Amino acid sequence: MTHPREVLLGAQAGAVSLPVCDHYSGVEVRMRKSLQLQAEMRQEFGTCVFDVTLDCEDGAPVGGEAEHAALVTELALQADASAHVAVRVHPVDHPCFEADVATIVGQAGARLRHVMIPKVESPADVAVAAAALDRAGHPALPLHVLVESPAAVHRAFDIAAHPRVQSISFGLMDFVSAHAGAIPASGMGVSGQFTHPLVVRAKLEIASACHAHGKVPSHCVVTEFSDTQAMRSAAGRAAQELGYTRMWSIHPAQIRPILEAMAPDAQAIEQASAILLAAMAAQWAPISHQGQLHDRASYRFFWQVLQRAFDTGRALPAEVRAFFQTSQEK
């Protein structure tokens, strides 16, 4: 039987599937707790519902960068084989970049899902990062990039087009700071970042660039970590209004609200399951479902609903879940 992914997905349209939450930590005790929490939630949901990105940049202490890179390497190597572990290294023009990559990727690259490169300004920066990973012995390791300036946003489509780029994240704080006070401080808050025109425009540019090239747009962090409702609202707006399919977390309390906000509800899962199973029975020819016609154009959408449901640990009918057992639960 042909897998729905083979029939429905091409170069665009969600060809890359990642957990909807990317959790960052850069202090040793928090990094260890993050990996432990990931294992516990994998057991709970039956799949890995968030990545853990071990941070060597803004979330890590200043000073002792070589020692920190060695610690990150050790944690990546010690993590369970099924863990989703990544690393954020320094920017490509930072004195520690080459050493970060040589140490962490050189020794633990086989355990990493991706490498996050901050402060990417152009495709040339991506090429520098890709070459460094190649020298470290991992030419197939994906790159995630963080776009944080007005000029980088302008080049988002060219950055997304690079074959090594798997995802683009938006760096809200640096983006606002780059405007010399033209964007007020409220533009960095949970409300203002969804209303200020320059911030919203930047977010839309990044999301559009990612979708044009089949990459994953990842929404910026929300600093109001103690406000669960604000977190859930921000994640929901990022997904439903701006087209983001992934979001950063910097505190364990943010992970579940992100999962809940980005997950399809039970009704959407039921509808998507019914349509996809009927489509398969018709060998992907057009069908009628509850008075509406559907063909492969809409089947693609409903498959993506089911993919997102699986990625967020939602319950799926047995016939549907079978499609994810071997290829996704790893």
In whole angstroms, give the CA distance from residue 277 to residue 327.
19
Token digits for 226? 């103690």
Q: Whole-angstrom Cα distance, residue 231 to residue 99?
A: 36
Residues 251 and 309 grouped into a single domain = no
Q: Residue 262 corresponds to which tokens in the numbers above?
A: 């980005």
Q: Write phi, then psi, for 171 (nearest 5 degrees).
A: -95, 90
User: Do the Cβ atoms of 259 and 44 come closer than 8 Å?
Assistant: no
Same domain (yes/no): 29, 124 = yes
What's residue 320's pLDDT? Answer: 92
116 and 146 in contact (C-beta within 8 Å)? yes
Main-chain phi, psi angles of 54, to 5 degrees: -80, 125
Distances (CA, A) of 153 to 76, 127, 147, 201, 236: 31, 17, 6, 9, 23
The closest alpha carbon to 54, from 90, 99, 24, belongs to 24
Whole-number pLDDT of residue 330: 43
Q: Does 170 share its domain with 281?
A: no
Domain end, chosen from 241, 262, 283, is at: 262
Number of domains in the chain: 2
Mark 32-44 as b/e (b = at least 16 C-beta within 10 Å). Answer: eebbebbbebbee
313 within a domain of the structure (yes/no) = yes
pLDDT in tens, 1-28: 678 888 887 645 556 789 999 999 999 9
Residue 330 maps to a domain: no
The span from the first CA to the last CA of the chain, in angstroms, equals 21
Cα–Cα distance for residue pair 316/152, rounded to 1 Å: 40
**In terms of domains, do 123 and 229 share one?**
yes
Task: Report pTM.
Answer: 0.92
Residues 86 and 38 reside in one and the same domain: yes
pLDDT in tens, the chain (330 residues): 678 888 887 645 556 789 999 999 999 999 999 999 999 999 999 899 999 999 999 888 888 999 999 999 999 999 999 999 999 999 999 999 999 999 999 999 999 999 999 999 999 999 999 999 999 999 999 999 999 999 999 999 999 999 999 999 999 999 999 999 999 999 999 889 999 999 999 999 999 999 999 999 999 988 887 788 889 999 999 999 999 999 999 999 999 999 999 999 999 999 999 999 999 999 999 999 999 999 999 999 999 999 999 999 999 999 999 988 755 444
Residue percentage of the chain with pLDDT more than 90 = 85
Rounded CA separation 231/289 (Å): 36
Q: Is 143 helix (H, G, I), strand (E, B) or coil?
A: strand
**Which residue from 300, 87, 128 is spatially nearest to 211, judged by alpha carbons?**
300
223 shares a domain with 92:
yes
Among candidate residues 262, 283, 316, the one where a domain is terminated = 262
Q: Which domain holds residue 319?
A: 266-325
